[in-house]
Amino acid sequence: MVGMDDKHRSLLRASRMDLVRDMDGERIASYLYSYEIFSEEDRELVNAESTPQRKNEKLLDILPKRGANAFKVFCDILKELKMFHLEILLRNEDKSSELVSKGVDVEDRGFPDQKSETVQNSNSGKTSATESDEKESEADGRPMGEGSDQRDGRFFGKSDKKDTAPQPIQRLPSLKGIEYQPDSDSFYSMDKYPRGLFLLLNNKEFLPASGMESYPRNGTNVDADALESLFTELGFIVHRYNNISCYEMRKLCKQASLMDYSNLNCFSCAILSHGQEGVVYGTDGVVDIRELTGYFRGQNLIGKPKMFLFQACQGSDYMEGLDATDGPANDRTNDISLPVESDFVYAYSTVPGYYSWRNSQRGSWFIQAIVEVFRANAHKMDVLRMLTRANAIVATKKSATGQRMSNNKRQIASIVTQLRKEFFMFPPQGPLKSYSS
C-alpha cells in the first residue's frame, strides 16, 4: 500500500491537539470503515479505548498508515459530519497558494478554493459593478482588476492600503449645507452632521490559534477600502481596524456602544472576516455575533437605527439555483419606551448554512453590490430598499469553478430587520459618484 503523503502527515501532526480535542473518533472510525480506509480491526481498536480522547488519539495513530487516499477521505468525512473548523485546519495550503496566485474564486470562509464566474445582470447590457470579466471566468465583485473569488474565510485581492494593527481612520467630507429633515413619525431623523459612527472591522491575516493561519483573506482590503470611502462620503465618522483579535473585537464594539450619540443620528458596523453559522473570526478564534451586536442595546442609542453588515460564511453548503420567472405599520415614537431589540437591521452576505463568495482582487459579491447600489441611490432610497437591490445583484451570480462539487453555485444575502421607520442615509453632499469614476 502506498503511504500517506509526507505533507499530509505533517498537517495531521500539526493539527493533532485540535483534532484530539474536538473529533468524534468513534463515529469517524465507522465512516472510515464504510469507505474502506479502516479495516474492521482498525475500527475495533479505536472503539476499545476507554475515553473519547484516547479514541481520537488511536484513530490519528492509525490513519497515516492507511494509504495515500486516507487524508482526503478523512477531510471529506469531517465535512460530512459538519466538523468544519477541523476540515479548515487540514486544508492543503500549497494548493491554496497556487490557486490564489492564479486568481481563483473561493468561498468566503476557508474551504476549497474555486474559480467562478457571474452571469450578466439582466438590467444592463454591460457588466455591472458586481460582475466579473467573463474572459477570466471569475465571479463576484466590482471590476477592479484581475482576481480570484473565494469563500469568505479565505482569499482576497491585494489593496494598496497596508494592513496595520488596530488604527482608527477618521475622515469627513465638507458639508455643503444640504439638510434633510423628514417626518420623524415615518422616517428616522437624519439631520446631524456627522451622521453617525461607522465601525469597520477587517480581518485578513489570522494567527495559529484560530486554525486559519494558512488562509489569509487576500483581497478583503478591496471591500474595506470601498466601504470606508462610501461611508465617509455618506457623512459618517469612519473607524477602521485591520487584523484584530477576538478580545479587540469585543473591546472595540463595547467602546463604540458606550459613545455619546446625542449629536449623531445612527450607528453602522461592517465585519469582514471568516465565519461559521452564528460566529465570526477574530485573528485568534471566533466570537459570537450576538455578543458583538448585543453591546448596542443601551440607552444611548435608543430609538436610533443601527445597521450591521457581515461579509463571512455561515456554513459550508453550496447553494443551488432554480429557474424561475418573476411575477409586493406606522409606529409613532413619541413614547420612547421601546423594545431593546428595536431599530436594528442586519445584512449577512449569505444565509445560515452556506458559503459566501469573494473575489481576491475585485471584492466580494455582497459588499461590492452594496457599494454600487448605495452610491447610486443613497440620496433617494431607504436602506432596506437598497439592501434588497444589492441582493438582486448578488442573486444574478453563479460560480463556474470547473469542479463538479462547486460549479454553478449561487448566493443570496439575508436581511433581518427590526427597524420601525424608514432609514435613509442622505449623503450631505448630495448624490454620490460611482466608486470607479
Kindly give, in sequence order, each residue whose CB lies less than 8 Å from that of residue 4, ignoring residues fewer than 6 positions away: 63, 64, 65, 66, 67, 68, 70, 71
Cα–Cα distance measured from residue 32 to residue 304, given in angstroms and rounded to the nearest whole number: 54
What are the backbone angles phi and psi of residue 36, rounded to the nearest 5°? Answer: 65, 30
**Closest-CA residue to 388 (of 374, 403, 398):** 374
Structural contact between residues 74 and 42, judged by C-beta atoms closer than 8 angstroms: no
Locus of grid cell 451622521? 195
Determine the length of the chain: 437
Structural contact between residues 260 and 197, judged by C-beta atoms closer than 8 angstroms: no
Sequential DSSP letters for 277-334? TTEEEETTEEEEHHHHHHGGGSGGGTTS-EEEEEES--EEEPBP-------------S
E strand residue ranges, 243-278: 266-272, 275-276
- Catalytic, 313? Answer yes
Which one from 8, 85, 239, 274 is the annotated catalytic residue? 274
- Catalytic, 85? Answer no
Locus of grid cell 430598499? 385
Map residue 187 onto helix, strand or coil.
strand
The separation between CA 253 and the C-alpha centre of its own chain, rounded to angstroms, equals 18
Q: Cis omega before residue 194 (within 30°)? A: yes
Which one from 239, 266, 313, 379 is the annotated catalytic residue? 313
Its sign, for the CA torsion 28, 29, 31, 32, is positive
| Residues annotated as catalytic (active site), given as ranges | 274, 313
